[in-house]
Amino acid sequence: MSDSDPTTYEMTAERISPKRTRIDTGDAEFVVGKDVNPVEFFVGSTLACLNSTGTMVAREMELSIDELSMSVVGDLDYSLYRGEESDNRAGLQGLTVEIDVDTDADQATVDEWLAAVKRRCPVTDNVEHETPLDVTAASV
């Protein structure tokens, strides 16, 4: 266990249009809704975090990865988003990720690598476990 302090993320957002939002991280800016919608951005972030975590874990395990490709499939019922009735939640109903790893390691080592990646990936942790969310609004 580490006694280090957590990293705090603070970002601001500005509505550009009904479907576009500019996000400012303090270090960079990007627009969600221009090239990808928020759900695609979120799902893509899941794959990106698996890649970066997988790279770090492989380096620590001295596991050589020549190539890594991933695919993800998830279902989302937009009924509640559109204001319609639905028995489903508003969010993704689940995600299935497949990772193809080009490595000379045996399957047992790849399984060990994947277990560590799944345990350590911050974004997939937020997908699999409830993260408290407090949203407020103020009239300005």
Q: pLDDT (tens digit, 0 to 9) for every residue of the chain, 140 residues total?
A: 567 889 999 999 999 999 999 999 999 999 999 889 999 999 999 999 999 999 999 999 999 999 999 999 999 999 999 999 999 999 999 999 999 999 999 999 999 999 999 999 999 999 999 899 999 999 99
Q: Global pTM? A: 0.88
Residues 4, 16: contact at Cβ < 8 Å?
Answer: no
Please state, in angstroms and rounded to a whole number, the distance separating the CA atoms of residues 10 and 51: 23
H-only helix segments in the chain: 38-61, 107-120, 122-128
Q: In what order do the strands lie in the sheet with 29-32?
A: 12-17, 20-24, 29-32
Written as six digits, the tokens of 23 are 């996000």
